[in-house]
Amino acid sequence: MLVPGALLSAVLLLASSAPAALAVDFRLPTGDRASLPKTEVICNNNIHQCWFVSFTKPSEPVCGSDHFTYNGECHLCFAVLYKKLNITKLHDGPCENP
Ligand SMILES: *[C@@H]1O[C@H](CO)[C@@H](O)[C@H](O)[C@H]1NC(C)=O
C-alpha cells in the first residue's frame, strides 16, 4: 500500500533537486598544472551531477591529455574514475588532431 506522505516528500525532493542536477558546469584543473589527484577529487565531488543529463544534454567538448576529445567534463571524469585512465583536461574545446 502506498504511503501518500512519503510519496509526496519523494516528489518534492525530486523537484527541488532538479535545477541543481541540470547545471553541469564544474571546472576541472586545466593544462600543465592539472594533476591526476586534483582531477580525481573534483570529479568525485561533481560526478553525481552527471548521471541524468550528461549523456543527453549537449555539452562543450574538452580535450584530454590523451589528445582525445571528450564530450564534456562528465565524460572525461567517467574515463578517469571508472576506466582508471591517467588523464587530465588540457583545454576547453576539441583537441587539434594532426
Ligand atoms: C600519471 O601520469 C603522470 C605523468 O605521466 C605520472 O607522473 C603519474 O605518476 C601517473 N599517475 C599514476 C597514478 O599512474
Nearest CA to ligand 1 atom 2: 86
Ligand 1 center from residue 49 Cα (angstroms): 27
How large is the average pLDDT for residues 2-24?
47
Buried b (16+ CB within 10 A) or exposed e, 56-71: eeebeebbbbeebbbb
Q: Are 75 and 50 in contact (CB under 8 A)?
A: no
Residue with cell 583536461: 89
Strands (E), the chain: 62-64, 69-70, 89-92
Ligand 1 center from residue 35 Cα (angstroms): 8
pTM for the model stands at 0.72
Tens digit of each residue's pLDDT (9 = 90 or more) over 24-70: 668 999 998 899 999 999 999 998 888 765 556 667 899 999 999 99
Whole-number Å distance between alpha carbons of 75 and 73: 5
Instruction: Enumerate residues lining ligand 1, CB below 6 A.
Output: 36, 86
**In the chain, what percentage of residues exceed pLDDT 90?**
52
| Element containing residue 81 per DSSP (H, E) | helix 73-81
Residue among 86, 87, 89 whose CB has most ligand 1 atoms within 8 A, to mutate? 86
